[in-house]
């Protein structure tokens, strides 16, 4: 939606440049497309409108014609060089037509641990001969169900070599994406998740098969988080909700014949949902409604306690809200673990006529999918939390920045914002009524990333929202003092902002009563990779890695011994089995030289070669660095080269020594955590798995473009 009074650069430009159409003479032999010109014109008044305009142009034409760069520059008051820089910085944007449908293949650690390299290799082979574009992507958010693939608006999980051949064949034939059945029907209520993980496993086909039967009402809920059981179907009975899974469309006739609608016995019957061990052992706070409600039904949200936190906050002075958050002990769940109350207090105390709340939903870490699942399963909770943050700090505008690899989350959030505006929970365009009848006004806008992992870093994310390349800013100044468009800004991840609703609804003491040491509340752990039972497990801080991997997760999916886990995403350390008794606790992980990060755990069995994973860490950094600082930009490239020499058996001792020196430079001298934390997985792999770095050629590993 157009956003009037758009801020260009750091300050609001008072002079509005006159929009003028593209001349046929701007680029030789170029014929202007009125539809593209209309798209550009429609974004002229958006704050940071260049990025949304580029997305819309590519959606319309399939690519971004360079001939429109002069027009984009004039429209957004930028130089041609700046526009060109933005287009070429983000991997999603293309300046030439693709040769065919885009097939994205995940090659991140969680998918690697489940056989992703073989799938990727076959996809690349087929891409060389078939009319498709094979694109690498470092995470699709299906980290407990890899290898994963996306094409044509559809996700696929547990893909093997035969599966990628089928998927590419369907893409070549341009088979349409299946229709997504909404909540509908009349009769006995049956829940079938609409979460991306469930849809990738075939939930839409199950929902369609059930809706074809008379007397069935299908509700599309979020996932309960037991991803090995997706699609998980729940039927409402007099005894409560009864779960069945994993269900395919082919199972529906036998389920109905066995009395599904009354909770009848069947081989797929699991029992009462809330009594299943995976759920019964959890302490769900942030995820209490996920999988329980219809995430697109605001009445359902309110009926299950939604908006209680916001109503409580609006009855308090902003400073008292900040004090409650501080007393709760809530710390940022995005990885830095900075006390949320201090951040809110800083923005509240910084004078400014304009302040912002920014939600970082650019969840790019392999193994992480909690942000995606919360947005897809309980989006109103995030909206409520952001409004609370706005009231607490005096911010009138919020931005949710979601990565492009999460199309279901994007669609869900768009629908939730529209509903919240209609209900008066948010201010839409032209609306002046206060939130919930108060005098407080809050507008919420959404922005979509474009394939840059670095935009998960808070200052790079703000640059992207402003319509620039996602390049990290030097700090100070801190975002809380000078953030988005130079104004005081609260920037937190999805789980941190959503937790504000629970803190205010239940009270600071209730939240602080959970946890361990200085790590208060609950941690939403994502159990992923080569694990038998992967998914979302929310528990108070203090549960151990071993409990999560061996007991709750059931060990490796292959049945082989677990050899390593990586906690905290691609920048996190590798732990070996003797460290699995480490509690999920910020200080405990820091003391062990590790990183809790976003709470993701990626499991590897004993077939993993840790030298190869160390190489991946450096390669990932080289691919995703913003390029601003030399230690990260050049250091990661040199790191790949050094490890390739070690793999080849060249001057082993000398290259190992240089590699360790390089890690020290990157850790100490990089501008942000991208380069600063990349040495963590490398150093930990060397420390705990020294045999994999031995002085011999590693013929089982490949280097260069084939690695």
pLDDT average, residue stretch 111-122: 96
CA 159 to chain centre: 21
**Range(s) within the chain of domains with CATH label 3.40.30.10:** 102-172, 184-271
Q: Is the pLDDT of residue 6 over 80?
A: no
SS3 at position 381 = helix
Could you check whether the bond before residue 231 is cis, i.e. omega within 30 degrees of 0? yes
What pLDDT score was predicted for residue 335? 77
CATH of domain 610-706: 1.20.1440.230
Q: Which fold has domain 298-513?
A: Rossmann fold (3.40.50)
pTM of the model: 0.94
- Taking only the tens place, the pLDDT of each residue in 393-403 is 999 999 999 99
- Taking only the tens place, the pLDDT of each residue in 73-109 is 999 999 999 999 999 999 999 999 999 999 999 999 9
CATH of domain 184-271: 3.40.30.10
- Taking only the tens place, the pLDDT of each residue in 557-599 is 999 999 999 999 999 999 999 999 999 999 999 999 999 999 9
What pLDDT score was predicted for residue 1? 37
What is the CATH architecture of 516-605?
Answer: Roll (3.10)
Q: Is the pLDDT of residue 249 over 60?
A: yes
**Range(s) within the chain of domains with CATH label 1.20.1440.230:** 610-706
What pLDDT score was predicted for residue 4? 36
> b/e for 671-680, b at 16 or more Cβ within 10 A?
bbbbbbbbbb
- Taking only the tens place, the pLDDT of each residue in 186-241 is 999 999 999 999 999 999 999 999 999 999 999 999 999 999 999 999 999 999 99
What pLDDT score was predicted for residue 5? 36
Among positive and negative, which fits the CA dihedral 517, 583, 229, 145? Answer: positive
Q: What number of other Cβ atoms are within 10 A of residue 35's Cβ?
A: 10
- 49: pLDDT confidence band, cut at 50, 70 and 90? very high
Cβ burial, residue 79 (10 Å; 0-12/13-18/19+): exposed
The answer regarding whether domain 102-172 maps to CATH 3.40.1110.10 reads no
* CB-CB contact of 514 with 285 (8 Å): yes
- Give the separation between CA 285 and CA 349, rounded to whole angstroms: 30
What string of H, E and C letters represents the secondary structure of 531-560? CCCCEEEEEECCCEHHHHHHHHCCCCCCCC
Number of alpha carbons in the 13 Å side-chain half-sphere of residue 627: 8
- Give the separation between CA 183 and CA 220, rounded to whole angstroms: 5
What string of H, E and C letters represents the secondary structure of 468-498? CCCCCCCCCCCCCCCCHHHCCEEEEEHHHHH
Give φ, ψ of 555 to 5 degrees: 80, -165
- Give the separation between CA 4 and CA 524, rounded to whole angstroms: 38
- Taking only the tens place, the pLDDT of each residue in 441-469 is 999 999 999 999 999 999 999 999 999 99
For strand 233-237 and strand 522-529, is the pairing parallel, antiparallel, or unpaired? unpaired
- 429: pLDDT confidence band, cut at 50, 70 and 90? confident
């Amino acid at each position: 939606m157009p956003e009037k009074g758009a801020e260009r650069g750091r300050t609001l430009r008072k002079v509005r440049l006159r929009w003028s159409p593209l001349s046929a003479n701007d680029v030789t032999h170029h014929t202007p497309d009125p539809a593209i010109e209309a798209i550009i014109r429609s974004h002229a008044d958006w704050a940071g409108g260049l990025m949304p305009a580029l997305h819309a142009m590519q959606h319309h034409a399939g690519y971004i014609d360079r001939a429109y760069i002069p027009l984009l520059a004039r429209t957004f008051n930028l130089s041609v060089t700046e526009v060109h820089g933005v287009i070429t910085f983000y991997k999603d944007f293309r300046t030439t037509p693709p040769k065919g449908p885009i097939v994205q293949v995940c090659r991140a650690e969680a998918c690697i641990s489940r056989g992703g390299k073989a799938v990727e290799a076959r996809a690349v082979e087929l891409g060389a001969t078939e009319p498709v574009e094979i694109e690498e992507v470092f995470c699709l958010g299906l980290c407990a169900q890899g290898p994963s693939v996306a094409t044509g608006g559809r996700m696929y999980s547990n893909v093997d070599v035969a599966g990628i051949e089928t998927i590419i064949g369907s893409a070549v034939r341009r088979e349409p994406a299946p229709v997504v059945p909404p909540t509908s029907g009349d009769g006995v209520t049956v829940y079938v998740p609409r979460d991306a993980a469930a849809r990738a496993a075939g939930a839409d086909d199950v929902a369609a098969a059930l809706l074809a039967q008379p007397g069935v009402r299908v509700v599309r809920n979020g996932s309960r988080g037991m991803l090995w059981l997706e699609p998980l179907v729940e039927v409402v009975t007099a005894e409560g909700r009864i779960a069945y899974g994993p269900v395919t469309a082919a199972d529906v006739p036998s389920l109905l014949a066995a009395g599904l609608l009354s909770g009848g016995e069947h081989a797929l019957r699991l029992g009462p949902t809330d009594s299943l061990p995976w759920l019964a052992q959890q302490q769900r706070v942030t995820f209490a409604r996920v999988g329980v409600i219809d995430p697109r039904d605001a009445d359902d949200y309110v009926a299950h306690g939604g908006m209680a936190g916001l109503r409580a906050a609006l009855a308090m002075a902003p400073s008292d809200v900040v004090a409650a958050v501080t007393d709760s002990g809530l710390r940022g769940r995005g990885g830095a673990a900075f006390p949320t109350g201090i951040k809110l207090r800083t923005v509240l105390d910084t004078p400014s006529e304009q302040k912002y709340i920014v939600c970082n939903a650019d969840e790019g870490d392999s193994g992480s999918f909690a942000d995606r699942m919360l947005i897809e399963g309980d989006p109103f909770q995030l909206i409520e939390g952001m409004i609370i943050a706005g009231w607490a700090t005096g911010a009138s505008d919020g931005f949710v920045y979601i990565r492009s690899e999460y199309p279901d989350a994007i669609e869900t959030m768009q629908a939730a914002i529209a509903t919240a505006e209609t209900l008066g929970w948010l201010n839409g365009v032209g609306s002046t009524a206060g939130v919930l009848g108060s005098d407080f006004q809050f507008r919420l806008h959404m922005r979509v990333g474009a394939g840059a992992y670095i935009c998960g870093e808070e200052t790079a994310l703000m640059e992207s929202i402003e319509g620039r390349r996602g390049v990290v800013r030097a700090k100070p100044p801190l975002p809380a003092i000078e953030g988005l468009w130079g104004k005081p800004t609260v920037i937190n991840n999805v789980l941190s902002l959503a937790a504000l609703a629970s803190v205010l609804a239940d009270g600071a003491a209730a939240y602080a009563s959970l946890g361990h040491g200085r790590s208060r509340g609950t941690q939403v752990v994502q159990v992923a990779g080569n694990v038998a039972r992967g998914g979302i497990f929310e528990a108070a801080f203090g549960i151990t890695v071993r409990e999560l991997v061996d007991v709750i997760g059931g060990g490796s999916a292959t049945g082989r011994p677990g050899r390593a886990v990586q906690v905290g995403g691609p920048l996190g350390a590798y732990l070996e089995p003797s460290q699995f008794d480490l509690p999920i606790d910020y200080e405990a992980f820091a003391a062990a030289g590790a990183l809790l990060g976003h709470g993701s755990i990626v499991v590897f069995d004993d077939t993993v070669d840790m030298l190869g994973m160390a190489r991946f860490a450096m390669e990932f950094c080289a691919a995703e660095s913003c390029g601003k600082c030399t230690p990260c930009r050049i250091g990661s490239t040199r790191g790949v080269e050094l490890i390739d020499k070690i793999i080849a058996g060249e001057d082993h001792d000398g290259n190992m020594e240089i590699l360790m020196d390089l890690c020290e430079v990157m850790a100490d001298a990089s501008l942000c955590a991208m380069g600063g934390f990349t040495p963590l997985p490398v150093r930990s792999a060397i420390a705990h798995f020294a045999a994999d770095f031995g002085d011999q050629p590693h013929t089982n590993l490949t280097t260069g473009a084939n690695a």
